[in-house]
């Protein structure tokens, strides 16, 4: 075994990637994110680094004036991995099945999908929806060949259109792909790619250090520090459109006042959390959408600073005074809150306990509960949630307008959005923005972001950065901030 | 021997029913809404929502009465059907074959390495009890045993993968990937089993019958072969059987560290996402394995010492 194992150099024609993602099934609703990243499947619409939509399997798209009917014009030179051509019927079959499964957008907006001609697909919506094209960037809407589906529309083999085709699937630990020579676009350089699930960040760091993997994703701060001192590895840091936020139940009498929410925000030492926990100075969030979100990020907002005196003053203005134990109280009621967070992102529980200590200095007693992520939407629906610390992904659908329309357009809010937020002025402005275009749209968008930063229906804490490590033999690496692709086709292996 | 097998077969049937039923009841007593948990397991944290949970609830009939769900499970079990995973949708038998198969491979390799390390070391220490070698063995065993298996694995990675480049750090698609996780577990097991072997050897080597065999003129090797091996092996086989059972259910940290597929990881995920068929299937299979291993150990003990039949 020693002889067998001794220093096998990495294969010159095979790239090995490791991340924490566990592909459990061929179903795109469950594991499409990994098949999209491995460039096996493609969507009708693509995104660039700035979140701007660009051609995917559709070269162009247009809508009627009220944006309730959309037509997508397909590429004419695309073949699936089994050699069958991509046409409108195949797209309609694939999307009809996809739209019957859960997805991170509201499928109910779509009334019908049909083929207009061999290369044009038409979507009829129930009402006007301007950011519709952005929805078709989501991995759940990737297009599969009709031969992919078995009985009950179950995906029995993954036949996509991407530059790589699936060769081996060993759920939830391994996916192997090989270059698809019939790809319509630029051919990939690397013939074979393996994705291996690496459960622990420490293991992934050691894998890239020891040559067992060429690229590893989602590294923890301690591993990054180790890898920065490793000779044959480079660390890549890219801001991504994900923000750590505190979700608040604004129907709770403790949290319905803007002054109280501002005080809670001012009592956060974001700098301490960014430097002490995340080892990432500069990621402190002063608004919902981070710098990776283009026009939705307001550059002119002041940086978030801890200001305990101002926070105490705001609490006093709201009628809260410390009792003999230092906890704020008003009319005999103490300011005690509970905060739900979840374990899948290990930093969240550490940040939650830091917030517990920071809010204690303001006189707020916080009880932190570690749960499954599903406790947040469940608590929202049941109305039992008081606060929650969560990492909201704004990259699922790259246009934040879709997020605002889904979660911020009514007092009901969204599962991962605000809760019982009553702000008719914002709702009206949001409605107006859906009709705006060009410069007016940009202006409206900035106003919406500014409004959210001031009225704080959710308290932003930190922006996320993605930390990856890449072996020296990999050239052409870049990180897709929207996490849709590993961009393997741009990479070359050189000894 | 026949008695042992009949007894164990009855135990097996009772175990299958009771483990499955207890898992069914316990998993439904866990806090949280099952539909939301399953939706989170299926679609990931970013996509879990009330709509996804409601779709799951409807698809899986989670609103049906619990007794109906129990009877449904029991009916399927009688047809030897473990069902499909609520999360991945794959047949439980396929999931178990993949995950448990890798765990068994790792456990077998770990037991082999453990035996290779522990048997010679334990025998030498036993025959030379209280020598510097025995004391050194005790110190080393204590040091190894007091290390969390995760730390031991990390140290082995640093030495064999990063420093010497003899073996890959992690992975599972080549034989070379098996060595470091197996050695981690093997060392941890050998740390204890070599002391059991040492004590058993000491007990046998100082017994009257062993001394008598030497006095009557047998050589050291002949004495060991005729009177030592069987008597030393008896408690060791029983102890290693228990170790193997513990291995199958307790290798999750090693599986995680070495990115090795395994039942420990699958089981923890099944608990988090309330994948009840997976939980039941795993518990049942582990139960069957434990009974089988115990039967095998009892059989070995019987062959080593047929007098034990009287106690069966």
E strand or H helix at A16: strand A14-19
Q: Return d(Cα A78, Cα A222) in angstroms, integer.
A: 44
What b-and-e string marks burial along B204-223, b requiring 16 or more CB atoms within 10 Å of the CB?
A: bbeeeebeebeeeebeeeeb
Residue B308 scores a pLDDT above 80? no
Residue A188 scores a pLDDT above 90? yes
Mean pLDDT of B134-138: 93
Residue B302 scores a pLDDT above 50? yes
Residue B250: its pLDDT value, please?
61
Contact A209/B at CB under 8 A: yes
Residue A4: its pLDDT value, please?
46
Distance, first Cα to last Cα, chain B: 8
Residue A51 scores a pLDDT above 50? yes
Bridge-based pairing state of the strands A365-371 and A321-322: unpaired
CB A185 within 8 A of CB A441: no
A122 vs B300, more confident: A122
Residue B2 scores a pLDDT above 80? no
Could you give the count of Cα atoms lying within 13 Å of B123 in the half-sphere of its Cβ? 13
Distance, first Cα to last Cα, chain A: 26
Q: Compare CB distances from A374 to B36, B157, B165 and report the shortest one's residue.
A: B36
DSSP for B44-111, written as a single string: -GGG--HHHHHHHHHHHTTTS-HHHHHHHHHHHHHTT---B-TTT-SBHHHHHHHHHHHHHHHHHHHH
Residue A6: its pLDDT value, please?
53
Distance from CA of A221 to the nearest CA of B (A): 18
Residue B310 scores a pLDDT above 80? no
CB A56 within 8 A of CB A42: yes
- A356 burial (CB, 10 Å; 0-12 / 13-18 / 19+) is middle
Residue B143 scores a pLDDT above 60? yes
Could you give the dihedral angle defined by the CA atoms of residues B260, B266, B271 and B273, in that order, rounded to the nearest 10 degrees?
A: 100
CB A358 within 8 A of CB A269: yes
Residue A377: its pLDDT value, please?
95
Record the tokens describing residue A184, joined without a space. 């319509």
Mean pLDDT of A324-337: 94
Mean pLDDT of B63-74: 84
Mean pLDDT of A132-160: 95
Record the tokens describing residue B182, joined without a space. 């197996």
Find which of A374, A378, A380, A403 to mutate to test the B interface (most B CBs within 10 Å of its CB). Answer: A374
- Mean pLDDT across chain A, nearest whole number? 92
Residue A2 scores a pLDDT above 50? no
Q: Which of residues 445-474 of A touch B (CB under 8 A)?
A: none
Residue A167 scores a pLDDT above 90? yes
Residue B247: its pLDDT value, please?
78
Residue B311 scores a pLDDT above 80? no
Distance from the Cα of residue A487 to its chain's centroid: 17
Across the interface, whether the CB atoms of A416 and B49 are under 8 A apart is answered yes
Measured between beta carbons, the chain B residues lying within 8 angstroms of A373 are 40, 45, 48
The chain A residue lying nearest B54, using CA atoms, is A102
Residue A114: its pLDDT value, please?
96
**pLDDT tens digits, one per residue of A388-409:** 999 998 888 888 899 898 899 8
From start to end of A273-401, where are the E strands?
A: 321-322, 328-330, 333-334, 336-342, 365-371, 387-393
**pLDDT tens digits, one per residue of A261-299:** 999 999 999 999 999 998 889 999 999 999 888 889 999
Distance from the Cα of residue B286 to its chain's centroid: 9
Return all residues near A255 (Cβ < 8 A) that are at least 6 apart: A248, A249, A261, A337, A386, A387
Q: Return d(Cα A96, Cα A86) in angstroms, integer.
A: 15
**pLDDT tens digits, one per residue of A57-99:** 999 999 999 899 999 999 999 999 999 999 999 999 999 999 9
Across the interface, whether the CB atoms of A210 and B49 are under 8 A apart is answered no
Bridge-based pairing state of the strands A328-330 and A333-334: antiparallel
Look-up: residue for tokens 């397991």? B41
Residue B249: its pLDDT value, please?
62
Contact A172/B at CB under 8 A: yes
Q: Return d(Cα A128, Cα A387) in angstroms, integer.
A: 33
Return all residues near B282 (Cβ < 8 A) that are at least 6 apart: B96, B100, B263, B266, B267, B270
For chains A and B, CB pairs below 8 A equal 164
pLDDT-derived band of residue A493, with 50, 70 and 90 as boundaries? very high
Mean pLDDT of A466-490: 95
pLDDT-derived band of residue B30, with 50, 70 and 90 as boundaries? confident
pLDDT-derived band of residue B312, with 50, 70 and 90 as boundaries? very low
Mean pLDDT of B145-174: 90
């Amino acid at each position: 075994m020693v002889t067998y194992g001794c220093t096998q150099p990495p294969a010159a024609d095979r790239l090995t990637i490791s991340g924490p993602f566990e592909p459990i099934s061929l179903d795109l609703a469950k594991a499409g994110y990994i098949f999209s990243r491995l460039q096996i499947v493609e969507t009708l619409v693509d995104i660039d680094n700035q979140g701007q939509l660009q051609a995917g399997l559709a070269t162009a798209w247009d809508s009627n004036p009220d944006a309730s009917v959309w037509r997508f014009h397909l590429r004419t030179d695309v073949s699936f991995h089994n050699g069958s051509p991509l046409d409108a019927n195949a797209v309609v079959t694939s999307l009809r099945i996809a739209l019957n499964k859960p997805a991170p957008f509201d499928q109910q907006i779509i009334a019908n999908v049909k083929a207009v001609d061999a290369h044009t697909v038409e979507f009829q919506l129930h009402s006007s929806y301007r950011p519709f094209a952005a929805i078709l960037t989501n991995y759940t809407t990737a297009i599969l060949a009709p031969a992919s589906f078995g009985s009950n529309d179950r995906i029995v083999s993954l036949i996509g259109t991407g530059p790589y085709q699936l060769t081996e699937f060993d759920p939830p630990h391994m996916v192997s792909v090989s270059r698809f020579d019939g790809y319509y676009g630029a051919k990939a350089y690397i013939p074979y790619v393996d994705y291996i699930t690496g459960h622990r960040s420490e293991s992934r760091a050691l894998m890239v250090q020891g040559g067992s993997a060429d690229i590893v994703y989602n590294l923890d701060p301690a591993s990054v520090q180790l890898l920065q001192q490793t000779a044959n590895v480079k660390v890549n840091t890219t801001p991504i459109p994900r923000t750590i936020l505190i979700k608040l139940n604004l129907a709770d009498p403790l949290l319905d006042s803007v002054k109280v929410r501002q005080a809670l925000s001012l009592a956060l030492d974001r700098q301490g959390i960014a430097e002490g926990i995340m080892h990432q100075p500069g990621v402190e969030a002063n608004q919902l959408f981070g710098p990776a979100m283009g026009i939705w990020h307001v550059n002119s907002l002041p940086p978030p600073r801890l200001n305990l005196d101002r926070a105490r003053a705001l609490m006093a203005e709201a009628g809260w005074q410390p009792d003999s134990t230092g906890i704020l109280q008003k009319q005999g009621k103490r300011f005690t809150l509970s905060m739900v967070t979840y374990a899948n992102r290990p930093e969240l529980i550490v940040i939650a306990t830091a917030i517990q200590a920071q809010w204690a200095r303001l006189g707020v007693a916080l009880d932190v509960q570690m749960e499954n992520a599903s406790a947040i939407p469940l608590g929202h629906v049941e109305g039992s949630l008081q606060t929650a610390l969560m990492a909201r992904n704004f990259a699922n659908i790259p246009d934040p307008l879709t997020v605002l329309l889904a979660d911020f357009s009514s007092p009901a809010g969204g599962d991962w959005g605000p809760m019982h937020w009553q702000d008719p002025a914002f709702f009206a402005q949001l409605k107006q923005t859906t009709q705006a275009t060009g410069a007016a749209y940009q202006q409206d968008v900035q106003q919406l972001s500014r409004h959210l930063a001031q009225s704080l229906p959710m308290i932003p804490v930190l922006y996320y950065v993605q930390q990856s490590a890449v072996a020296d033999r990999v050239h052409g690496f870049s990180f897709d901030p929207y996490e849709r692709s590993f961009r393997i086709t741009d990479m070359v292996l050189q000894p | 021997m026949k008695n042992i097998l009949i007894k164990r077969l009855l135990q097996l049937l009772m175990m299958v029913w009771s483990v499955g039923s207890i898992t069914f009841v316990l998993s439904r007593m866990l806090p949280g809404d099952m539909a939301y948990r399953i939706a989170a397991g299926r679609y990931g944290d970013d996509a879990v929502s009330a709509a996804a949970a409601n779709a799951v609830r409807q698809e899986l009939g989670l609103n049906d009465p619990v007794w109906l769900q129990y009877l449904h499970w029991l009916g399927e079990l009688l047809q030897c059907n473990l069902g499909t995973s609520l999360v991945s949708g794959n047949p439980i038998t396929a999931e178990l074959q993949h995950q448990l198969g890798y765990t068994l491979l790792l456990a077998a390799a770990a037991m082999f390495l453990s035996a290779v390390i522990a048997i010679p070391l334990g025998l030498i220490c036993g025959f030379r009890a209280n020598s510097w070698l025995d004391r050194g063995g005790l110190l080393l065993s204590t040091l190894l045993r007091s290390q969390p298996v995760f730390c031991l694995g990390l140290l082995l990675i640093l030495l064999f993968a990063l420093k010497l480049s003899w073996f890959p750090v992690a992975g599972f698609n080549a034989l070379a990937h098996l060595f470091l996780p197996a050695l981690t577990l093997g060392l941890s097991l050998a740390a204890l089993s070599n002391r059991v072997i040492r004590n058993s050897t000491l007990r046998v080597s100082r017994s009257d019958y062993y001394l008598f065999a030497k006095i009557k003129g047998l050589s050291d090797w002949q004495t060991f072969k005729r009177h030592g091996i069987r008597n030393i092996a008896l408690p060791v086989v029983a102890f290693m059987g228990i170790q193997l059972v513990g291995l199958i259910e307790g290798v999750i940290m090693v599986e995680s560290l070495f990115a090795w597929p395994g039942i420990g990881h699958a089981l923890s995920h099944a608990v988090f996402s309330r994948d009840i068929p997976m939980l039941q299937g795993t518990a049942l299979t582990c139960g069957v394995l434990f009974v089988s291993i115990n039967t095998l150990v009892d059989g070995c003990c019987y062959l080593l010492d047929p007098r034990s039949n009287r106690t069966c």
